[in-house]
Chain A
């Protein structure tokens, strides 16, 4: 157990639908990062939050949004889902704004299947 909790572990939904993925960071970590991993594209950075504020943005689609709450948990919202959104979504956390020292701690991921 890495200390980063992601729910749900598996999600199957239809095209056009909206889903919310949840992440609780490791205790004491202030940064949360979201990554998407599909078979053909590897690990793609989506977005980072640090202590509730958006810190960095990667290749995140406009249909996707995220936020980090005062208790530091984060949610990734995916809407108007398409077949190509099927992937593993990982959340990671770190103490500071970057991964210096101990890197990022990743959760076990949410596997999203869009049918």
Chain B
């Protein structure tokens, strides 16, 4: 069964600290992996997209890594800001003639002053 699991479910960190969110997947055949940021009550916004051949991609203070062999990804947030408080969703795409997306349930991050 195609699944995406994220950990932790929720996380509280102090402003200025770093954190890492985890994503494990069992999706096949793999096409790409995406990280989204979703502010409360708003639609998800794309942070990064990585294909099989990419093992790291950055977007400002966000750095995503991908290990296609172990089917794991992480999202590292550097020097966190209050505005980073949001849910972070890992999404894995697989090919069935066209792309289909499998969504994780997200990690809820709270950055505290």
A binds B: no
